Structure 1
Amino acid sequence: MSVHGLTLGDVLGEHRRGRPLGLAVVDADVRLTYPGLDERVNRLANALAADGVAPGERVLWLGRNSFRILELLLAAARLGAICCPANRRQSAGELTFVLDDLRPAVVVFEESEAAGQARARTVAKARWVAAGEEYEAYAAAGAPSEPAVTVDPGDPVLALYTAAFDGRPAAALLSHTALIAHTMTLLHVRRMEDGFTYLNSGPLFHVGTMMFCLAAFQLGGTNVFTPAYDPEEVCRLIEAERCTHAFLFGPMIDRLVEANAGGAHDLSSLRFASHSPAWDAMITVDDSPWGASKMGGYGQTEVGGMLTFLGLAPGGRGPAGRPSPLVHVRILDPAGTEVPPGETGEICARGATIFSGYWNRPERNAAKTAGGWHHTGDLGRREPDGTITFIGPGLRMIKSANENIYPAEVERALREHEAVADAAVIGVPDPAWGQSVKAIVVLKDGASLTPEQVVAHVRSRIASYKKPRHVEFADAIPKKGHTPDYDALDAAYGGGGHPGT
């Protein structure tokens, strides 16, 4: 074991010693100190090891938000294994793909129709443990001693599915080192202090929630969990637990303001970015670089969350700010040559926070790391003052609320309908969500479909939030080579509102 190594399991062990009274986790009736969390993690790790979870093996979570996600991640960290919290809102087909792709040794799940169907369909052989009483008995059976496993901090510990550019997602792998490095930058920019209490009100399969969950853990603060976003419950938890931060964005904040319009709950402990006069009056407006910049910057799952921070470039010309101190960013042309300031190219990076590649995607990984740089697939430019401007995805993407929706994935689902000859998907401006999905559908000769039938079909194949809100029928899809001509489709069918514009 190197004297320079530090894993997530090591961080937990230090908190057990250094914060014996510190509250680590709050989840409904569950309240765990760091020593209590440490013992549960050890027991769970030993139970997982007995089921064959060894270094490099995968553990999958299929369920809503829970403290058990953090517990599973830390148990995997103690074993050199990989934890993947997956999106339970996916269809049975999507969950089956995840199971067959990841091949987890153990699946911890909440009962749902989709999960049940995926379990019946998958070829993956795994031990399935139901969240709740079965999970508690399973974990309690493990020994309380820390597993005697030497873990390399450079090995992956967290997998998050993302990047469905070719119609299927891939699991981005993040190492102990990458997560700790990203967390330390976030601690600096957000100016987190002792007593930091984070409300996990967003999904933990999303890096935007997970990065702050890990920041609170790294600092020795408190993570508060709620199964799903409910405005009334979020208001209650902020007041009851004196939460200082939460996963929130525009429409979620608007619903909180409505829910607390009468001032029933004291939300003043929350330090958050300014949003509206009513919101600002309820909270403490965050004056840290993170809050003052309206949480601006550029990021993606593959860089641990944020690659650049507007808070590191107050008054800078580029709205994405400057890179984390632990990474290097270059704007490269297709040949891999850095372009001059003011010119557009691909945002590329390397450094401590960069991911370890995608699970089981060797060809894609080789392309993503060509020339010794992580190729983000996104376009940007370096401004004359050195700051970064994010232009938009190199491949078309739709941003609805805080969710990334890739046209290829929705188009694949559309084309699976027996009446559909061809289809394309664009994003159209949406005043509430930024963009919503519009499908342009070409029917086979003699076939007929209603827009409602198209939407229902897509909803049966992929997660509901990815379904089209609008459907138009056409005689043909304009093409650039073999791919849809999205610019022509935008012009013809009202597309726009794309990220970066």
Structure 2
Amino acid sequence: MIHSLTLSDALAEHARSRPQVTAVVDGEVRLTYPELDERVSRLAAALDGLGVGAGDRVVWLGQNAYAVLELLLACSRLGAVLCPANWRQSLDELRFVLGDLAPGAVVWEPSDVTTALRDEAGGAWVRAGEEYERLLAGAAPRDFAQVSDAEPVLALYTAAFSGRPSAALLSSAALLAHATTLLVVRRMEPGFTFLNNGPLFHVGTMMFCLATFQIGGTNVFTPAFDPEEVCRLIDAERVTQAFLFGPMIDAVAKANAGGKYDLSSLRFVAHSAEWNDMITVDDSPWCRSKMGGYGQTEVGGMLTFLGLAEGGAGPAGRPSPLAQVRIMAPDGSEVPVGEVGEICARGKTLFSGYFARPDLNAEKSRYGWHHTGDLGRREPDGTITFIGPKLRMIKSGAENIYPAEVERALKTHPAVADAAVIGVPDPEWHQTVKAVVSLKPDATATEDDLITHVRGLLAAYKRPRHVTFADTIPKRGFTPDYDALDEAHGGGNYPGA
């Protein structure tokens, strides 16, 4: 396999060519690339001893930690697939993930939800921390057969338009191709240090983690976003980049209002006068364009970059050099320039399909192109404009929320006859969730009743902030008439609008 390069291969090369570079930092843990490579070899042997083999799934149930990267690299060495599950999800949601993936091993951090799942499930469960370290210590490093870089190595759940999400499978080849593009547009250089403060179950954090890994930089891990801790780590580790957007930037700037920490190593997007004075405003195409572009999990992160088309007519920019984009009609033909169609793609960064979803895979890859489910337009100068999802999606902060998923949860309440969910504008989070509910005859339920009910079924960011009651839900065929609901109940500010 002389043309193959997996994540595991990249690590093995870094161990030889960057023997003194710090690969990961997580609290008291500091590992050079050779130390990380040796631990990954032990971990791969340990997982093999638990019965994990090629094609098997491993699930991480916990917050951010260096173990996520170790597990991903060990899975690459074995030919297995890692899924960092969304730790913010409810017991019901995570129970679905485990049933869907049927993992060969689960590495977990204790919480009310994960402990309940552990009590329900059999199989190989390894508790993060001391038990995980004992597992590594008891395994001897050894060689494994070469794995093709076309094999899936990472699974990220997304696309819950039907009410339940699907796991997008990404190969080493796709992840490294995307990382290559990102490190060029971001102008990443040796010494680049990334703070993994965003969730690693989110492609926005994972893509920078892997680009930093590919360039031989340093990944710093913190369990979750905490403004004060972000400031401390940027100062202590001389962080170059972090996972930050509007409200998070404001929170970090507020936490450092007195100048307690030196944030000048952070080369980042201009935001406010206060923020700009704390950091080094970066002049890379990625940051000059305010991280603009279009992407989704299925394309590895970003499909188009505004940084490749500064000043262009289309606010999504131009495609990655390792991907093709076509704007297609339903029959698979390309629509003329200036007309709206579905954004479709193919190329080196594309995913390998959804796990155990043959019908969905056939539908999404028809005519030999990945159909993103999003509408766009090619402008006369060749750039791309993102119009919005073909099906309704709500954007709150950095999170995608699919109405069908929230509607499914609401409809499990015994008093609910029907429900629809819309997004309403929010000055801080872009949108928040509002539910419109009709009750069964003679049934009663309050707004608090329904929000409490959903609390046990969905992650906190998906729950409705408001519930409005209506006699009926307007329909277009079998689906809610979302335009009518927006008009009647104040919906708006959708992605692309």
Q: Match of 2:458?
A: 462
Question: Counterpart of 2:381 in 1: which secondary structure?
Answer: coil
- Give the 3-state SS of the residue equivalent to 2:419 in structure 1: strand
In structure 1, the partner of 2:11 is 12
User: 2:467 & 2:409 partners in 1: Cα distance?
Assistant: 14
Give the superposition deviation at 1:495.
0.3
Question: Partner of 1:46 in structure 2?
Answer: 45
Q: Does 1:391 align with 2:391?
A: no
Alpha-carbon distance between aligned partners in 1 of 2:256 and 2:57, rounded to the nearest angstrom:
42
Deviations 1:393-450 (A, max 9, x none): 0100000000000000000000000011100000000000000000001011112211
Match of 1:133 in 2: 130
Which residue number corresponds to residue 144 of structure 1? 141
Whole-angstrom distance in 2 between the partners of 1:118 and 1:358 = 24
| SS in structure 1 of the partner of residue 110 of structure 2 | coil
* Counterpart AA for 2:130: E
SS at match of 1:183: helix
- In structure 1, how many angstroms separate the alpha carbons of the residues matched to 2:61 and 2:338? 45
Retained in 2: the 8 A contact 1:80–1:149?
no
Give the secondary-structure state (helix, strand or coil) at the position aligned to 1:461: coil
SS of alignment partner, residue 198 of structure 1? strand
1:411 maps to 407
Correspondent of 1:282 among 278, 293, 303: 278
Q: What letter matches 2:45 in structure 1? A: N
1:290 is paired with a residue whose SS is helix
Are positions 1:333 and 2:324 aligned together?
A: no
1:29 Cα deviation from its structure 2 partner: 0.1
By how many angstroms is 1:113 displaced?
Answer: 1.3
State the alpha-carbon separation in 1 of the partners of residues 266 and 141 from structure 2: 36
Following the alignment from structure 2 to structure 1, what is the Cα–Cα distance between the partners of residues 41 and 219?
Answer: 19
Q: Within 5 Å, which residues of 2 pair with 1:17-96? A: 17-96=16-95
What whole-Å deviation, never above 9, does each CA across 1:106-141 have from its counterpart, x for those lacking one? 00001111112233445xx52000000000001111
3-state SS, counterpart of residue 400 of structure 2:
strand
Does the 8 A contact of 1:428 with 1:435 survive in 2? yes
The one-letter code matched in structure 2 to 1:287 is D
The 2-side partners of 1:219 and 1:17 are apart by: 14
Query: Residue 319 of structure 1: SS of its match in structure 2?
Result: coil
**SS of the residue 2:455 aligns to:** helix
Question: Which of 406-415 and 451-460 deviates more?
Answer: 451-460
Aligned to 1:241: 237
Amino acid at match of 1:338: E
How far did 1:77 drift?
A: 0.4
Q: Is 1:182 matched with 2:178?
A: yes
Secondary structure of residue in 1 paired with 2:456: helix
What is the total number of aligned residue pairs between the two structures? 497
Offset, 1:240: 0.2
1:20-42 Cα shifts (integer Å, max 9, x gaps): 00000000000000000000000
- Give me the whole-angstrom Cα distance separating, in 1, the residues matched to 2:117 and 2:40: 28
Q: C-alpha separation between the residues in 2 aligned to 1:96 and 1:103? A: 10
CA distance in 2, matches of 1:224, 1:150: 29
**Aligned equivalents of 1:116, 1:149: Cα separation in 2:** 35
The answer to whether the aligner puts 1:365 opposite 2:361 as a matched pair is: yes
2:318 match: 322
**2: distance between equivalents of 1:293 and 1:302?**
23
Q: Is the 8 A contact 1:273 1:291 kept in 2?
A: yes
Q: Which runs of 5+ in 2 are unaligned?
A: none
Question: What's the RMSD between the two structures over aligned residues?
Answer: 0.7
Give the Cα–Cα distance (whole angstroms) in 1 for the partners of residues 245 and 490 of structure 2: 26
- Aligned residue in 2 for 1:451: 447
> Which runs of at least 4 in structure 1 moved beyond 2 Å after TM superposition?
116-122
% same residue = 69
In structure 2, what is the equivalent of residue 227 of structure 1? 223
Question: Secondary structure, in 3 states, of the residue corresponding to 2:229?
Answer: helix
Counterpart position of 1:109: 108
C-alpha separation in 1, matches of 2:465 and 2:186: 36
Q: Distance in 2 between matches of 1:118 and 1:377?
A: 33
The DSSP-based 3-state class of the residue aligned with 1:476 is coil
Q: CA deviation at 1:193?
A: 0.9
Q: For residues 424 and 20 of structure 1, what CA distance do their matches in structure 2 show?
A: 56
Deviates more, 1:441-450 or 1:237-246: 441-450
In the alignment, is the contact (CA less than 8 A) between 1:198 and 1:212 conserved in 2? yes
TM-score by length of 1: 0.98
**Aligned to 1:192, what secondary structure does the other structure show?**
coil
State the partner residue of 1:302. 298
Residue type of the partner of 1:251?
P
Alpha-carbon distance in structure 2 between the residues aligned to 1:63 and 1:253: 24
